[in-house]
Structure 1
Amino acid sequence: MRRWRSALLVVVAALAASVLAACATIPREGPVTRGGPVSAQDNPFGQVDYHPLGPGDGETQAQILNGFIQAAVSPETGYQIAREFLSSSFRSQWNPDASVTVDRAALRREPQRVNSTELNLQITPSAFIDQSGNYRAADSQAPVPLRYTFVKEHGQWRISDAPSGIVIDSDQFQNVFSPHPLYFYSPDYRFLVPDLRWFPSSRTTIATRIAKALLAGPSPWLQDAVVTAFPKGTQLASGSVVVTGGAAQVALNAVAAGADEPTVNRMDEQLTESLGTSASSVTLSIGGVNQNVSGATDAVQDPPVVSSPLVLKGGKFGFLSGKSVVSLGGVADQLVALHPTAATVSANGAAAAALAGGAAYAVSAALENPVMIDTRHGLIAPAIDSRGIVWSATRDARADFAVSAGDGATASLKAAWPDARQLLSFAISRDGTRLAALIGTSDGQSHLMVAGIVRDSTGHPTRIGEPVDLGGLGLSSGISLAWSDELSVAVLGVSPQGGTAIVTQQLGGTLSDPTAGPADGTVIAAGNPSSELWVLTSGGALESPAGNGWQTTATDVEVLATQQGRS
């Protein structure tokens, strides 16, 4: 710990010096004058660069190993400080970008002696990050052994062999790494779709890492569900992105030369939105030619919903306003006549999916009557996507999804949920590109899983991509889920301590701590902002968060419906 405290003091001293230097220039008399604009990049506390110490003379193998792990949190100049702990022959072979293992207590672990030149470090991973920045929670707390070999050079111990990647203590992880959504498009270019990645928060390398990852394309599970404006083979011409005064200079090779105006606008938009946390603007050049960008496209980012609960109450279907219900119009009358137990409504209110009398229905304002699309046993609440297509499924996780555009024709889609026993609840992202499912697994746990939705040129879904298991939710059993924003899913379930609990899982990120939910909660829905949640109880009470508890917003509510985002 001596080395880490010393390194941290260097950071603190540098920050203090910068603040004191700034204070020394503050005038104590004279007129008030307007200062210049301040950007996020000017904030010395916005990003902290760690400056760990290199190896000291006469350090033991254990001290060298500990110093190496601490130094590897700093990516500056290609992990130069960390490489000082390595032997001259191994220094260029070590690949720190191969992976990241987040350990629950890396800085407090004592290595075990294997022989005179080898140490074994037992770590307990909480998460992993791959070379593309994809985050994955560890599915086991079983120890993972890492072996390090040592050699003496000029009388000093150095590491001559080590696993690729870096190990970081979980307490340091949130300070050293930060999440960054990369933005791609839905296939129809109507929506910007986020793909969350994690990179070291270094002011000198973060923009380059983001741009390179964006150009490399989406994560494997999103590969066929989204598209990018960048032609295959597009790379950074200079190998890096330079950010000056908040402006990112992005120079691409000539692969994209000759792109038409809409494509250039989309490339610029993808870069601007993806680099938003590290740059305030982007200047784009292709093949050495500066591009004249005419402006953002019409693509919608994080489609909003109405900030009022959508309910069936007192013979009316619509948005709750105070104690009354304002009719939705469109499909409202048809839904009321169905007496549904669950419903999801399209963004414009002209179409809906409903569960009523043990059957799933597609409801459309363009048709006089609802169309029955699924009568299988064990149906759960259906969904409707951004294209107005209705999805229906049963609790049997092995069964196909039934999808219908409401014209009477129904197609079947298979979802290969891993280790699945039950499908408890599912929902489609507001941009229509991703399917989230609450799965009861064979070990009795509830997991959140996601998959990309692959569509044909007309927008009809043709395939559900390979699912990704985001891990256990810490609930005895799941009950209901809802998309709360473009990257987060809120889950209502049964707490291991009894009663209900709510957790929020960030796709490609972390799971929130559970908060107590209302007693007997059965359905969850979300509004704007994403923290705005509603829960319907089995007794018909609509509950919303109030301080540390829940407050009854309405009673005698028959259905709490889900809204799709507005484009």
Structure 2
Amino acid sequence: MTPGRTRARWTLALLLPLTLTGCAGLAATGTVHAEQPISNAAVPHVDVQPIGPYDGESAEDVVTGFLVAGASLDDDYGVARQFLTSTASAKWQSAEGAVITTSDSDFKVTQQGSGRVRVSAAEQAVLDTTGHITAREPNSRIDASFGVTRVGGQWRISSLPAGFRPWISNVNFSQVYTPQRIYYPSATSRVLVPDVQWYPAAGLATAVARAVLAAPPTWLQGALRTPNQSHIGLAINAVPVDPNTGVASIDLTASAQRADGTVRTALWAAMTASLTGVNSTVMVVPSVTRVELTAGGNRVAAPHLPAQPATAADLGYAVAGSPSAALITRNGSVLSWQGSGPAGPLRDSGESGENTVRLPAISSKYYDLGADTSGDAIAALSIDRASLGVWVKRSFHVVPTFAGNLTRPTFTGSTALVAGISGTPRRGAAPSGGGVWAVDTAAGSRVTARQLSVPWLGRSVVLALKVSAEGARVAMVVRDGQGRTSVQVAGLLRDTRGFPIGIGTPVTMPVALASYADVAWLDDVTLGVLGATTPEKGHTQGADEIALVPLSGQPDMFSAPLGVQSVVSGGSGTDDIYVLDHRGSVWTRQGAGWARIPGADDLAAPGT
């Protein structure tokens, strides 16, 4: 590699400020074990300007220059194409997506004969064509072989690997791409559910509008309503934003006017919530204050449509968020309301008027609490995990036995979801398989458990599950027939009355731990996963690590107190984390470590 290309490469890197952290404040509050992660927050856009080829470069330098130039998307990778022969450039269809590497400076470049150059790099993640990031396992590498030839005495790339996607370092990626919440309407309620997708700052409003019209991730299908069910698209592939008013003008195909009124209202709400998230943190993009939907030159009509809707609420929709601002702690048989959030340790909220529902006394025969948002319904497991008790407005009822090895209950509305193993341990009956059950606590003394349809589970068992605050998604720890655990997310399927009836086909989240014990929703798009760093610790000592896992992004890690078994979050962010150990102690993050919460031996986050 020539000195000139080395200097050019490092010049590019130094132009880009190193602003990346995995989650705000993490480095100050815990030990980070992952590689430098991709930022999961929008950062100010920086126009990356790589250098094109110059005379006298070696074949290795030309290939390296091409890969570095992949950080600039301008003119359809115009600078990168300067390193290609005209034939190779014409054949390269630069599809959306990218390979995200840890750095531009650690490429291992070797020449294979006179016509091939091979490059190896540390692969951190992959951006797919739908805007989703999938993290790779630690120490992963990507290898690619490029054909090279001389053109006019200078080396150029004559052939690319099949399906080649541009490579971009994690630092440059976070300067060029920005994460956006794309909202989709729930299939059974007037709630918008977020999905995080990454797009370049250039053309961002257009990309976001296209994403709203596209199908949601496959793991959410069935739980969400999507406009593409009515074959609605963009009439022109551009969404201009007025720099003075902030109004985004979205011209749709004529099918938008023919869609059902509920679909049109949902489309207005989803576009409004998604596009108003395009803001001035991306400095080259004007902030969007509201949207205007047209089709065939006319405004898209919808029932009760305001003249200038600025929020989803103006259209009768709520945006998914945190379930509540309080937790419930237990001390012996006494339950108490406590404040939650990242500001510090739990605080008593009972005297401030924040929570007025009186909580029941809990028998020592029951533990592992769950609660609905109001606190009117409490659920807990018996000591042998074979029975579920519910307290509805302080009246106690036992759910008729339906399974064993039950999981901590999680709530959506007044319904508690519990996983377990069919076939109770009585009379030595053999388990018949794992399952998930829904318990409608509103039934009071007639409360029963109804099994959900989970055909994909097979011989696997759900060890833990948590419903997201809006009730459309479920996060799970699943153990397969070989004893391997994984973290999976799926859509929660409901009937026309809104009652849970099934869990859709899940997707496995990439978390680099040896085993997993529990999971919680830290906010609307981030999971907290409790697990062990080695199989030995998982089997003998319990969990010792927490992973912060964005639905689209790279996980971050920090240490947990050794031997903890459960993780709970009030849902207000990545610092709002509590863990419980087998001794009945509750711990909260404090400074660089953990502090035990006095007078608490169990904890529930109402509404999750």
The TM-score, its normalising length taken from structure 2, stands at 0.77
Cα deviation for residue 284 of structure 1 reads 2.5
Moved more, 272-281 or 287-296: 287-296
Which structure 2 residues correspond to residues 390-539 of structure 1 after superposition, within 5 A? 390-394=417-421, 399-406=434-441, 407-408=447-448, 410-414=450-454, 416=456, 423-439=462-478, 447-474=486-513, 476-494=514-532, 500-514=544-558, 516-518=559-561, 520-527=563-570, 529-530=572-573, 531-539=575-583
Q: Is contact 2:467–2:475 with CA below 8 Å preserved after alignment?
A: yes
In the TM superposition, 1:187-206 aligns within 5 A as 187-200=187-200, 202=201, 204-206=202-204
Within 1, Cα distance between the matches of 2:179 and 2:432?
Answer: 32
Could you say which residue in structure 2 is the equivalent of 1:207? 205
Cα gap change, 1:439 to 1:180, in 2 (>3 Å): same
Partner of 2:392: 365
Q: 1:49 maps to which residue?
A: 47
Residue 410 of structure 1 and its aligned partner are, at CA, apart by: 1.9
Give the match for residue 405 of structure 2. 378
Matched-pair contact (CA < 8 Å) for 2:585–2:602: no
Question: Once the two structures are superposed, what CA deviation does each residue of 1:419-469 show, in whole Å capped at 9, x if it has no partner?
Answer: x97643221111112111124568887532212222222223333222211
Q: Residues 446 and 551 from structure 1, CA distance in 2 versus in 1: closer, same or farther, beyond 3 angstroms?
A: same
Partner residue of 1:280 out of 288, 302, 322: 288
Q: Distance in 2 between matches of 1:549 and 1:430?
A: 28
Q: Where do 1:261-340 residues align within 5 Å?
A: 263-275=263-275, 276-278=277-279, 279-281=287-289, 282-291=291-300, 293-294=305-306, 295=309, 296-320=314-338, 322=347, 332-333=359-360, 336-337=362-363, 339-340=365-366
Deviation at 1:229, TM superposition (A): 4.3
**Inter-partner Cα distance in structure 1 for 2:140 and 2:324:** 45
Mapped to 2, the partners of 1:373 and 1:280 lie a distance apart of: 53
Q: CA separation in 2, counterparts of 1:392 and 1:374?
A: 13
2:63 aligned counterpart, secondary structure: helix
- The structure 2 residue matched to 1:77, chosen from 71, 75, 78, is 75
Q: 2:222, 2:349 → 1: CA distance?
A: 44
Contact 2:466 2:474 (8 Å CA) reproduced: yes
1:165-204 matched pairs, under 5 angstroms? 165-200=165-200, 202=201, 204=202
Amino acid at match of 1:346: D
Match of 1:548 among 589, 592, 602: 592
Tell whether the 8 Å contact from 2:389 to 2:398 is kept in structure 1 after alignment.
Answer: yes
Q: Is the Cα–Cα contact under 8 Å of residues 426 and 437 in structure 1 kept in the other structure? A: yes
- After superposition, the Cα gap between the structure-2 partners of 1:388 and 1:319, relative to the gap in structure 1 and judged at 3 Å, is same
Counterpart for residue 368 of structure 2: 342
Change (3 A) 1:425 1:230: same
In 2 relative to 1, CA 454–45 (structure 1 residues): closer, same or farther, beyond 3 Å?
closer
| Inter-CA distance 402–207: structure 2 relative to 1 (3 Å threshold) | same
In structure 1, distance between residues paired with 2:135 and 2:482: 18
SS at match of 2:224: coil
Contact 1:184 1:218 in 2 (8 A): yes
Correspondence 1:192-271 to 2 at 5 A: 192-200=192-200, 202=201, 204-229=202-227, 231-245=229-243, 246-259=246-259, 263-271=263-271
Counterpart contact for 1:340–1:559, Cα < 8 Å: no
How many pairs were matched up?
Answer: 527
Greater mean alpha carbon deviation, residues 128-137 or residues 353-362: 353-362
Mean Cα deviation higher: 279-288 or 177-186:
279-288
Q: Percent identity?
A: 24
- Measure the CA separation in 2 of the matches of 1:415 and 1:430: 24
Matches of 1:233 and 1:253, distance apart in 2: 9
**CA gap 1:45/1:143 in 2 versus in 1, 3 angstroms:** closer
The corresponding residue for 2:148 is 150
* 1:102–1:123 CA distance, 2 compared to 1 (3 A): same
Aligned mate of 2:57, from 56, 59, 71: 59
Which residue pairs with 1:21 in the alignment? none
Post-superposition offset of 1:212 = 1.7
Structure 2 contact 439–448 (Cα < 8 Å) conserved? yes
Structure 1 residue 518 displacement after superposition: 3.7
Is contact 2:43-2:175 (8 Å) kept? Answer: no
Runs of 5+ unmatched residues, structure 1: 13-43
Q: How far apart, in 2, do the equivalents of 1:310 and 1:301 lie?
A: 24
Mean Cα displacement is larger for which, 371-380 or 47-56?
371-380
Contact preservation (8 Å) 1:359, 1:372: no
Q: Give 3-state SS (helix, strand or coil) of 2:174's partner.
A: helix
- Alpha-carbon displacement from aligned partner over 1:514-540 (angstroms, at most 9, x marks no partner): 1x3345433321125322222334343
Q: Tell me if structure 1 keeps the 8 A contact 2:59–2:148.
A: yes
Contact 1:221 1:468 in 2 (8 A): yes
Range with greater deviation from structure 2 (81-90 or 259-268):
259-268
- Tell me the SS of whatever aligns to 1:175: helix
Give the structure 2 partner of residue 19 of structure 1. none
Which one-letter code corresponds to 1:401 in the other structure?
V
1:132: Cα distance to partner? 0.8
Change (3 A) 1:536 1:385: same
| Distance change >3 Å, CA 8–CA 559, structure 1 → 2 | closer
| Aligned mates of 1:189, 1:323 — CA distance in 2 | 33
Separation (CA, whole Å) in 1 of partners of 2:364 and 2:316? 37
Structure 2 CA distance for partners of 1:410 and 1:423, relative to 1, 3 Å: closer
Change (3 A) 1:387 1:82: farther
- Counterpart of 1:563? 606
What SS does the aligned partner of 1:309 have?
A: strand
Q: Is the 2:511–2:555 Cα contact (8 Å) retained in structure 1?
A: no
Q: What secondary structure does 1:148 align onto?
A: strand
Name the stretch that deviates more: 273-282 or 61-70: 273-282
SS in 2 for 1:370: strand
Of stretches 438-447 and 49-58 in structure 1, the one that deviates more from structure 2 is: 438-447
